[in-house]
């Protein structure tokens, strides 16, 4: 520790260079932590998927609906246990919450409040929740949900966010044209709040809302809304590959061919609509880390080259080669620690800001990324990478300082 | 009088590619304790090499270098560094102070290798600065000092561990006449009052005149004059 002030004094020698190196390192760690947090959240979401749950959608695109008649045909396939219709409603709280729903207002004029967007889905309630035992609803609330056509269940996190309680009413208006009705937004009553054991089922989404598919269907009648996706539960998760093929083969020559995937593949595909997310994010992280390694190594090399005479003097005074090497590595480590700390705090700040800013957090929640935060293991990883980067960056110049001979240095003074 | 430095039949050969350059050729030199010796000679005569061998920053190709009764020619690099930290003080021509450290921090630097507490280190460094007459400049940085003052700080750094031997490589070579005179007076005082054995390389006859003994080197061999 007695050498630390000496190391720090050297870092202050060229503060512009030192601070720019620290900032470069911080940017690297900031990106690494932020990207890893996004990936961790996506992984968590995918981990909540189960092998015996499949999703059948239109082969062309998610935006095309499937005929309702497919439900019975799916149910008839051997190995299929349950089938539930689902529709991603895409509803958000209207800026004008009251008035339009009862037909007294101008529904077309009501505007959408995107700042509070959350995931909401119309489902065949009984079969859908039977497929998802991880979502737990108290029996009395479940009973009320089944009996109330405009009823909905909301995740515990969502309830906390809006301070909604059982019995509260709110309006949602979809941005998807077939799900909008002339009379105005749909009115919902909270009949239940579901929760999940996140230790047993990590990644379970408790930030969504589910309501009766029939309510949606009746609301937009006489328009036929079709089915967004079918949730299919199969008897044996090991047969998932065989079953997806069997389902798609059944509808191969029909007007609406299907694409059936495991729930995990479906979610991954949904996330990956922007490309191969994991490859992209990891690629960016690696490229930035490697660049910063070169930048820091160059900075350290310059710093050591400038101080060649001092290295000779230190050795003359009795400092061993290991001491001198330690000083150089120490400086590089301090750069790493400072950059790492700054990057981790920056990432924490951004993720906190994103997850607490009304507009962005709600959009993220809408695609299932409601728990975006800097987790301790990601922060530790970022800090560790910064220290390792600092260590590696300092290693070559430190070895050069270690090997430098006093007589060679002093001869060139 | 006991011998402080004894160089015995030392040969030093440098290799530049396949070429061998013999810088010192079976050179022997004895410096008694408390002596002030000036080494003179033309460039390339081997005087700095001899000084480096006595200071333990280089090792002979053959022969022995005994300083304070210890044969430093056989020490490993690590042991040699440890020996240098407490047995010899080095004064450079260009002072070689660390620019980011204040005068007192520069002087304190060799004491980082001791077991002294922070307070003790600071006290000793201030005492050394007092000896060289710069106690009032302890917090000044090298850029805030004149050449003569910088060299005095460098001398304080050389004596702070209380070594037996001081070696100086042209200590007045970068100074004006007045500053050079002050430095030489200081070195005389260290030799006279603190009984330091001093070996000084110089080109300057006036500096050499301040030493008790002058030895001349010519092509790696000590001349008898």
Q: Is residue A262 part of a domain?
A: no
Smallest CA–CA distance, residue B165 to chain A, in Å, is: 13
Question: Among A2, A316, A318, whose Cβ lies nearest the Cβ of B82?
Answer: A318
Looking at A207, A235, A263, the residue that finishes a domain is: A235
- The pTM score is 0.67
* Helix/strand/coil for B55: helix
Q: Is residue A266 part of a domain?
A: no
Question: Among A9, A316, A407, whose Cβ lies nearest the Cβ of B100?
Answer: A9
Tell me: do A27 and A57 sit in the same domain: no
End-to-end CA distance of chain A: 31
Smallest CA–CA distance, residue A353 to chain B, in Å, is: 40
Element (H, E) at A283: helix A277-306
Split at pLDDT 50, 70, 90, the class of B71 is very high
Q: How far apart are CA B100 and CA A303, in angstroms?
A: 13
Q: How far apart are CA A180 and CA B177, in angstroms?
A: 97
Looking at A182, A216, A235, the residue that finishes a domain is: A235
Does residue A357 sit at the B interface (CB-CB below 8 Å)? Answer: no
| ipTM of the prediction | 0.93
pLDDT tens digit sequence for A119-129: 899 999 999 99
Whole-number average pLDDT of chain B? 92
Tell me: do A144 and A205 sit in the same domain: yes
Does residue B122 sit at the A interface (CB-CB below 8 Å)? Answer: no
pLDDT at A365 over 80: no
Q: Give the highest mean pLDDT range of A250-254, A393-397, B125-129.
A: B125-129
pLDDT at B125 over 70: yes
Q: How far apart are CA A40 and CA A284, in angstroms?
A: 16
Tell me: do A73 and A194 sit in the same domain: yes
Q: Do you know the residue count of chain A?
A: 413
Q: Is residue A97 part of a domain?
A: yes
Split at pLDDT 50, 70, 90, the class of A412 is low
Question: Among B57, B85, B110, whose Cβ lies nearest the Cβ of A407?
Answer: B57
* Residues pairing with B213 in the sheet: B37
In chain A, residues with a C-beta closer than 8 Å to the C-beta of B110 are 317-318
Contact A407 B52 (CB under 8 A): yes
Phi, psi of A133 (to 5 degrees): -65, -15
Please report the domains of chain B, with CATH numbers, ordered by start residue.
31-60+73-223 (3.40.50.300)
Domain span at A366: 4-46+276-411
Tell me: do A218 and A145 sit in the same domain: yes
Tell me: do A92 and A28 sit in the same domain: no
Split at pLDDT 50, 70, 90, the class of B159 is very high
Contact A2 B118 (CB under 8 A): yes
Looking at A176, A204, A235, the residue that finishes a domain is: A235
Q: How far apart are CA A301 and CA A239, in angstroms?
A: 59
Q: How far apart are CA A167 and CA A279, in angstroms?
A: 45
pLDDT tens digit sequence for A21-55: 899 889 889 988 988 888 877 777 666 667 788 99
When pLDDT is averaged across residues B93-113 and rounded to a whole number, the result is: 93
pLDDT at B161 over 80: yes
Tell me: do A107 and A212 sit in the same domain: yes
Q: Is residue A252 part of a domain?
A: no
* Cβ neighbourhood burial of B46 (10 Å; 0-12, 13-18, 19+): buried
In chain A, residues with a C-beta closer than 8 Å to the C-beta of B157 are 317
Tell me: do A373 and A290 sit in the same domain: yes
Question: How high is the pLDDT of residue A102?
Answer: 43
Q: Is residue A66 part of a domain?
A: yes
pLDDT at A224 over 90: no
Smallest CA–CA distance, residue A384 to chain B, in Å, is: 30
Tell me: do A73 and A207 sit in the same domain: yes
Q: Is residue A375 part of a domain?
A: yes
Tell me: do A330 and A368 sit in the same domain: yes
Q: Is residue A246 part of a domain?
A: no
Contacting residues for A96 by C-beta, under 8 A, at least 6 apart: A105, A109, A110, A111
Tell me: do A110 and A132 sit in the same domain: yes
In chain A, residues with a C-beta closer than 8 Å to the C-beta of B86 are 318
Tell me: do A105 and A220 sit in the same domain: yes
CA dihedral B75, B79, B82, B87 (to 10 degrees): -20
Tell me: do A9 and A118 sit in the same domain: no
CB B5 within 8 A of CB B67: yes
Smallest CA–CA distance, residue A316 to chain B, in Å, is: 6
Q: Is residue A397 part of a domain?
A: yes
Nearest partner of B111 among B85, B129, B134, B75, judged by Cα: B85
In chain A, residues with a C-beta closer than 8 Å to the C-beta of B82 are 318, 320
Q: Please give the tally of structural domains in chain A.
A: 2
């Amino acid at each position: 520790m007695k050498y630390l002030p000496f190391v720090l004094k050297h870092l202050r020698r060229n503060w512009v260079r030192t601070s720019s190196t620290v900032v470069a390192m911080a940017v690297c760690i900031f990106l690494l932590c932020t990207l890893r947090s996004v990936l961790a959240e996506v992984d968590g979401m995918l981990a909540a998927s189960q092998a015996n749950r499949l999703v059948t959608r239109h082969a062309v695109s998610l935006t095309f609906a499937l005929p309702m008649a497919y439900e019975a045909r799916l149910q008839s396939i051997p190995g299929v246990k349950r089938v539930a219709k689902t529709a991603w409603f895409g509803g958000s709280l209207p800026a004008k919450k009251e008035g339009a729903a009862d037909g007294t207002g101008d529904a077309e004029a009501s505007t959408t409040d995107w700042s509070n967007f959350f995931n909401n889905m119309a489902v065949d309630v009984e079969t859908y929740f039977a497929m998802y035992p991880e979502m737990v609803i108290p029996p009395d609330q479940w009973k009320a949900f089944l009996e109330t056509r405009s009823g909905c269940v909301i995740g515990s996190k969502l309830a906390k966010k809006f301070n909604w309680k059982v019995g509260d009413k709110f309006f949602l208006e979809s941005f998807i044209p077939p799900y909008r009705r002339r009379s105005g937004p749909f009115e919902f009553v909270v009949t239940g709040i579901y929760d999940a054991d996140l230790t047993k089922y990590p990644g379970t989404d408790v930030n969504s809302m589910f309501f009766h598919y029939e309510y949606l269907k009746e609301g937009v009648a006489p328009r036929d809304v079709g089915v967004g996706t079918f949730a299919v539960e199969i008897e044996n998760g090991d047969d998932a590959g065989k079953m997806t093929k069997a389902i798609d083969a059944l509808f191969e020559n029909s007007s609406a061919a299907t694409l059936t995937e495991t729930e995990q593949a479906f979610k991954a595909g949904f996330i990956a609509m922007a490309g191969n997310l994991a490859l992209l994010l990891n690629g960016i992280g690696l490229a930035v880390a490697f660049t910063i390694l070169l930048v820091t190594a160059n900075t350290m090399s310059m710093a050591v080259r400038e101080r060649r005479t001092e290295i000779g003097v230190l050795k003359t005074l009795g400092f061993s080669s290991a001491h001198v090497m330690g000083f150089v590595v120490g400086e590089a480590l301090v750069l790493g620690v400072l950059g790492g700390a700054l990057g981790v705090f920056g990432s924490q700040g951004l993720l906190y800001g994103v997850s607490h800013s009304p507009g962005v957090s709600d959009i993220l929640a809408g695609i299932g990324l409601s728990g975006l935060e800097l987790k301790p293991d990601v922060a530790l990883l970022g800090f560790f990478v910064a220290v390792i980067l600092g260590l590696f960056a300092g290693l070559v110049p430190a070895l050069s300082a270690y090997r430098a001979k006093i007589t060679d240095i002093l001869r060139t003074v | 009088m006991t011998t402080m430095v004894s160089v015995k039949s030392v040969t030093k050969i440098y290799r530049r590619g396949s070429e061998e350059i013999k810088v010192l050729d079976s050179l022997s030199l004895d410096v008694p304790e408390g002596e002030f010796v000036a080494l003179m000679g033309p460039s390339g005569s081997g005087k700095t090499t001899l000084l480096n061998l006595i200071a333990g920053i280089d090792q002979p190709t053959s022969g022995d270098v005994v300083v304070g009764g210890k044969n430093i020619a056989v020490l490993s690099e690590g042991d040699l560094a440890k020996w240098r930290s407490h047995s010899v003080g080095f004064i450079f021509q260009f002072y070689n102070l660390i620019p980011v450290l204040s005068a007192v921090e520069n002087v304190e630097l060799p004491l980082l290798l001791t077991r002294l507490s922070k307070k003790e280190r600071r006290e000793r460094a201030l005492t050394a600065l007092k000896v060289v007459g710069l106690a009032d400049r302890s917090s000044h940085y090298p850029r805030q000092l004149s050449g003569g003052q910088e060299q005095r700080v460098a001398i304080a750094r050389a004596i702070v561990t209380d070594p037996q031997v001081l070696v100086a490589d042209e200590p007045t070579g970068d100074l004006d006449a007045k500053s050079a005179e002050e430095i030489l007076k200081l070195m005389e005082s260290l030799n006279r009052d603190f009984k330091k054995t001093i070996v000084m390389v110089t080109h300057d006859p006036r500096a050499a005149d301040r030493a008790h003994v002058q030895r001349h080197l010519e092509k790696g061999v000590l001349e008898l004059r």
